[in-house]
Each structure stands twice: as structure tokens, then as C-alpha cells.
Amino acid sequence: MNTPGARHDPCVALFDLDGTLTWRDTLLPFLAGYLIRHPQHLWALWRLLPMLAAYVAQRDRGALKSRAIRMVMGGASRASVDAWAEVFVDSLQSRHMLRPAALAALGAHRASGDHLVLMSASPDLYVPRIGRLLEFERTLCTEVIWRGDRLDGHLKTPNRYGEEKLRCLAWLRTQYPALRIVAYGNSASDLIHMQQADGAVLVNGSPGARRRAAGVGIPTAEWH
């Protein structure tokens, strides 16, 4: 199928990360890999059950994300976090975590002269590195707090998920006022901002997400 960005006029191609460009979530393997390399933090796993219980009670994805980061990496030095982030991002292709069809779509937009923007709810501990690896012009993601050289892990920005992505889309329109925005995402929550884009494709969506996309006129695709 033709991508919605397949036109002569440049557009802004807005890509989600987890499940869209990648085969799966990236935060869990990022945290697990850090924990494997720093087993002295294993003692903190006692917080896992209270953390999950708090999520069940509150349904706050941002709070869950912050607690998970603090549980595994809280107090870590910037040097140790950056060192692991570099290894993790550099290994994405060798570990086959990036979808070839997604990279092809990204390359087609790049060849058309489109502006590439990566927008993810995953944290800025590693997402900007992925943005640089894949040659995105801008990266918008959830930001976390540092205390000097040590990772605090509380969220500096709202969790860039659902309605927050819609606010980010509105901000992007101020940065590219004359251009169409074409959005790619994989989840039902992405449909919130995708409905307000000038073009959109739901990729790799669950059956429920595909039904919702069909209901609002957003086409779907499978990227392998």
C-alpha cells in the first residue's frame, strides 16, 4: 500500500517507537539489561510487588514507569547509565528488535525529504540515542529527573502517552506550521493523537485497536 506520506510536498512523519519501529517494548529489556550488568541492585526487587499493586490500584502508567526506573537504576551515575544506553541502542539491530518494514517506511520518508520525528512514552535514558541512530530530526519522549550526576528517576515531564501525545502533536504544529503531519502508531492509545494528524496508519495493532481505527477511518497495516 502507499504510505500517507508518499507525495511530493514534504510532510512531518511522526513515528511511535515501541511496537511500531520495534517488535516489542524497549523499557523492560533496557532495565533488565542494566540489572544483569549491575547485580548489586537486585536487592531492590523486593519493591516489585508493591509497585505492581500500586499500579493496579491507580492505573497510572507514568507512576509505574517512574517506580520501575527508580527500583532498578535509582541513584545510578550518569556514566553508568549512558554506558549501558550506548550498548543497548547499538545492539538493537543485531538483536533484531527493529522491524525491517518500519525501517523501509522511515527510509521512504527520508528519501522524500520529509521531516522525521520520533515520539515515544519511553524515557530519555535511551530514546534520544535511538532517534540519532535512525536519523530523526527531533525526538520527543518522557523525560526523567537527575540530581547532579545521579539518576533520581521521577518524571520531569508528563508521561508521553495517550492525551499527552496529543499535546505534543499540537506543539509540533507550531514548529512546522505549513506542513502536513502523518502519524504512525500501534496502540489504541495512539489513536487519540493520530485522529488529529493529517494522515495516519495504525501498524501492528491488536484486534481491538484495529476495530477502533476502522471506526474513525484510520487505515491499518502490518509491518514485519
pTM (two decimals): 0.91
pLDDT confidence tier of residue 2, bands split at 50, 70 and 90: very low
CB count within 10 Å of CB 122 equals 23
What pLDDT digit, counting tens, does each position of 80-118 carry?
999 999 999 999 988 889 999 999 999 999 999 999 999
Which domains does the chain possess? 11-221 (3.40.50.1000)
pLDDT classification of 5: cutoffs 50, 70, 90: very low
Share of the chain above pLDDT 70, in %: 91
The confidence band for 46, taking pLDDT boundaries of 50, 70 and 90, is low
Residues 166-203 as b or e (16 or more Cβ within 10 Å = b): eebbeebeeebeebbbbbbbbbbbbbbbbbebebbbbb
Whether the CA torsion 95, 90, 140, 33 is positive or negative: it is positive
Question: Would you give the distance in Å from CA 102 to the centre of its chain?
Answer: 14
Q: Coil, strand or helix: which one is 28?
A: helix
The chain-wide mean pLDDT, for the chain, equals 92
Q: In angstroms, rounded to a whole number, what is the distance separating the alpha carbons of residues 7 and 74?
A: 46
